[in-house]
Structure 1
């Protein structure tokens, strides 16, 4: 590990401590990966790619030390709940449409099958259906 990499990791750990204690100096103090990157003075993608273990450690510490769920996770949970509701609504709508198709098909069959016989006509070229 080169010295710059190690120094970057040290800055990230110090930034974690500041964010978790509510003493943010550079960032807005939110408990997100973006705020951690700003607080540590590293690029967000560097945190996500090179220091993914520290990012995961940060979120684990957020859960255990603050008894809070990270904002990203809250947003994802809301999105998942909305999508599940949308799928349930669509499935109910599909079921209702299938039932309507069945009812209308049966109604059409009854109407065409029980049609009264056509009155007798004097024309020989007209055939009843």
Structure 2
């Protein structure tokens, strides 16, 4: 028996073991990686030399109606990413509301600042400027 024929026979046997749930060398996942490991061949044997067997394997997996492990993993990741997106959307909405509130506060404080400056500059003002640390003391 030639090497290629032996390799094909090992791949077919590995396919049957995985599809019947009796893997011997792999974790039994419905993937090309697990199939290659189960058959004892390099992965590129399935992706380059024996594409027909790889396609046959995926066709049989699809016939079973069960999603592949990769599909299951990706579906879980999609769900997790959608949850994160919703969380981020809610957080972004809160931040936008906070920005609007802060803008109102800044506008109010600016208005009060200018009103106090105006009162301070009036001659009959009852408002007196208080000394701060950076202001030198006024002479008496």
TM-score by length of 1: 0.68
- Give me the CA root mean square deviation: 3.0
**Residues 63-111 of structure 1: CA distance to partner in whole angstroms, max 9, x if unpaired?**
322x321222211211122122222222321222122111110222133
Q: Which structure ranks higher in relative contact order (CA pairs < 8 Å, sequence separation ≥ 6)? A: 1
In structure 2, list runs of 5 or more residues that go unmatched. 129-140
Judged with a 3 Å threshold, the aligned counterparts in structure 2 of structure 1 residues 57 and 121 are, in CA distance, closer, same or farther, namely farther
Higher gyration radius (CA) = 2
* SS of 2:28 mapped into structure 1: coil
TM-score by length of 2: 0.64
Judged with a 3 Å threshold, the aligned counterparts in structure 2 of structure 1 residues 50 and 84 are, in CA distance, closer, same or farther, namely farther
Judged with a 3 Å threshold, the aligned counterparts in structure 2 of structure 1 residues 23 and 122 are, in CA distance, closer, same or farther, namely closer
- Counterpart position of 1:98: 96
- Counterpart position of 1:55: 54
Deviates more, 1:86-95 or 1:45-54: 45-54
- Provide the rounded CA distance (Å) in 1 between the counterparts of 2:50 and 2:6: 12
- Provide the rounded CA distance (Å) in 2 between the counterparts of 1:28 and 1:102: 55
Deviates more, 1:88-97 or 1:114-123: 114-123
- Provide the rounded CA distance (Å) in 1 between the counterparts of 2:52 and 2:94: 48
1:27 maps onto 2:26 in alignment? yes
Q: After TM superposition, which residue ranges in structure 1, 4 or more long, deviate above 6 angstroms?
A: none
- Counterpart position of 1:40: 39
